[in-house]
A and B are shown apart, each in its own frame.
Chain A
Amino acid sequence: DAGITQSPRHKVTETGTPVTLRCHQTENHRYMYWYRQDPGHGLRLIHYSYGVKDTDKGEVSDGYSVSRSKTEDFLLTLESATSSQTSVYFCAISESTRGTVNTEAFFGQGTRLTVV
């Protein structure tokens, strides 16, 4: 199994508070992603990173920010949590091989976040 650890695995927080989720990898992969999973929507990309300090927005980035200060860690911050951000969050990593970028992604176990 790919070495990806998400923390915490479960969290309950109050509306309006900031929350940070952590993704840690031991694979030295270049690309890291944050997705959220909601019924009827599949997985939607929040933010992604293509290198240290190189990040960009996905399709549902409003209300979220990210940081990647070293290869192994990718942090997702909910600046002021809202009930609509109650979801399961997945981190994923991938790497390019011999110049080909369409390689598979490996996923963490997920973080279940509840905003009350």
Chain B
Amino acid sequence: GNSVTQMEGPVTLSEEAFLTINCTYTATGYPSLFWYVQYPGEGLQLLLKATKADDKGSNKGFEATYRKETTSFHLEKGSVQVSDSAVYFCALTYGGATNKLIFGTGTLLAVQP
């Protein structure tokens, strides 16, 4: 079946460090891939997305590239800030009439000053 696997947290970094959160997926067909972010006490919001192979999604300094050959969509940021502390979810949607999102388990990122 369709699934998303992302690295377990928590990930603790110092401010200005490089961030990578790994995400791999299993899916039939050609899913769209997403990264969502959840700040404390809030709902999820879209961070970035990619809809086809080799697309790069980017937003707020975060990037992720849709790699079909490795079925991956790793999230990266060159220099994290304390305000980036949140839970990050990798997700996919696949074809059909329902547009259901399948989520990974989430990765907590804590950035220390």
Q: Contacts A90-B44, A108-B43, A109-B42; is A102 near B97 (CB within 8 Å)?
A: no
- Chain B residues with CB under 8 Å of A94's CB are 99
Smallest CB–CB gap between A111 and chain B, Å? 10
- Docked pose: A66 CA to B46 CA in angstroms: 25
- Chain A residues with CB under 8 Å of B44's CB are 43, 90, 92, 107
Number of interface residues of B (CB under 8 A): 26
- Chain B residues with CB under 8 Å of A41's CB are 105
Q: Is A42 a contact partner of B106 (Cβ separation < 8 A)?
A: yes
Smallest CB–CB gap between A99 and chain B, Å? 11
Query: Which of B45, B99, B103 lies in contact with A101, CB distance below 8 A?
Result: B99
**B81 within 8 Å of A (CB atoms):** no
Q: Is B104 a contact partner of A42 (Cβ separation < 8 A)?
A: yes
Q: Is B105 a contact partner of A101 (Cβ separation < 8 A)?
A: no
Q: Is B100 a contact partner of A102 (Cβ separation < 8 A)?
A: no
A-B contact count (CB 8 A): 63
- Chain B residues with CB under 8 Å of A44's CB are 103
**A26 within 8 Å of B (CB atoms):** no
**B78 within 8 Å of A (CB atoms):** no
Looking at chain A's contact residues, the main secondary structure is strand
Q: Is B101 a contact partner of A101 (Cβ separation < 8 A)?
A: no
- Docked pose: A105 CA to B99 CA in angstroms: 9
- Docked pose: A94 CA to B32 CA in angstroms: 14
Q: Is A90 a contact partner of B43 (Cβ separation < 8 A)?
A: yes
- Docked pose: A43 CA to B104 CA in angstroms: 8
6 cross-chain CB contacts under 8 A: A35-B103, A45-B100, A50-B97, A92-B44, A105-B101, A107-B44
Partner-A contacts on B (CB < 8 A): 31-32, 34, 36, 42-46, 49, 51, 89, 93-106
Partner-B contacts on A (CB < 8 A): 31, 33, 35, 40-45, 48, 50, 56, 58, 90, 92, 94, 96, 101-110
Q: Give 7 closest A-B pairs by Cβ, nearest first.
A: A102-B32, A107-B43, A42-B105, A42-B103, A43-B103, A107-B44, A101-B99
| Apart from A102-B95, A103-B99, 11 more pairs, CB < 8 Å | A43-B101, A45-B100, A45-B101, A48-B100, A56-B98, A92-B44, A96-B99, A105-B101, A107-B36, A108-B43, A110-B42
